[in-house]
Chain A
Amino acid sequence: GQNIDQPTEMTATEGAIVQINCTYQTSGFNGLFWYQQHAGEAPTFLSYNVLDGLEEKGRFSSFLSRSKGYSYLLLKELQMKDSASYLCAVSYQTGANNLFFGTGTRLTVIP
C-alpha cells in the first residue's frame, strides 16, 4: 500500500497551536492534500502541497518534505469549531486519478 500514516487522535487546548503529522511512501509521489471532516459531514479541502516548504493560509499552514515523505498540518489559535478529523491524502504518479487517504486524525479541542 501507500503507507499513509497519521496519529489516530490528538487533544489540544483552545487558543493553542497543534501540529498533525503525516508520513507516506515517497515512490511516485505527486502531491499531498489536507482535508477537514466534521463528524457526519463531507471532507472539505484545506491545503495542497507539491513542492517542499510551508504553505500558509490564515490560521492553517501545511508543510511538506518530499525527500522525507513527511508533511504536517499546523493549526494556530485553536477554536472549539476546529474539533474534527483531519485527513491526509496523497496522489501518486501511477496514472491513477484517485487520492490515497490516511485514516485521519481526530482532533478534540478542549476549553
Chain B
Amino acid sequence: NAGVMQNPRHLVRRRGQEARLRCSPMKGHSHVYWYRQLPEEGLKFMVYLQKENIIDESGMPKERFSAEFPKEGPSILRIQQVVRGDSAAYFCASSPVGGSTYEQYFGPGTRLTVT
C-alpha cells in the first residue's frame, strides 16, 4: 500500500511564476490536508479538503494561494506570482476519516525555493 505521494519533491521558481504542488493521498483516504513548514518553524495548517470540497481553508493566505481536490486525480496546491517568502516545505497529509482526532499520514513534502 503506497503512502502519500507528493511531487515534485523539489521545485525552483523565479519570483512572479506559478508553483503547482501535487498530492496523491493513501489508497482509501478521501481527506487531504496541506501544511507549510518554514525554516526553523513548526508545521502550519493551510487547508483541509475532501473530494471536490474545501472544508476548512482558515490557514490559507487570502491571496495567490488556492487548493483543489478533484473527483479524479491528485490534490493540487497552487501558488500564483510566487515571492521569496513562499520558500518553504509544503507537506500534504491524508486520513481515512475526517476530523482532527484521527492520525494523519504525511507525504515526503515538496521543497519550494523561490529565487
Contact = CB atoms under 8 A, between A and B. Distances in A.
Contacts of B55: 97
Contact of A97 (B41, B42, B48, B103): B48
Interface in B29-85: 31, 33, 35, 40-45, 48, 55-56, 58-59
A90 to B, nearest CB: 9
A101 B101 contact: no
B7 interface: no
Contacts of B33: 97-98
Contact of B106 (A43, A91, A96): A43
Interface in A54-109: 87, 89, 91-92, 96-104
Interface size range of chain A in the complex = 20 to 34
B96 interface: no
B43 A87 contact: yes
Contacts of A4: 42
Contacts of A92: 100
Contacts of A35: 106
Nearest to B91: A42
B38 to A, nearest CB: 10
Given A31-B101, A33-B103, A42-B108, A87 B56 contact: no
Contacts of B43: 43, 87, 89, 99, 101
A87 B107 CA distance: 16
Contact of B100 (A41, A42, A99): A99
B55 to A, nearest CB: 6
Interface in A38-57: 41-45, 48, 50
B48 A48 contact: no
Given A96-B58, A97-B48, A97-B56, A50 B42 contact: no
Given A45-B104, A98-B58, A99-B104, 6 more contacts: A4-B42, A33-B103, A96-B56, A97-B56, A100-B45, A103-B42
Interface of B: 4, 31, 33, 35, 40-45, 48, 55-56, 58-59, 91, 98-101, 103-109
- Which 5 pairs across A and B sit closest by C-beta, in order of nearness? A91-B100, A98-B45, A42-B106, A101-B42, A101-B43
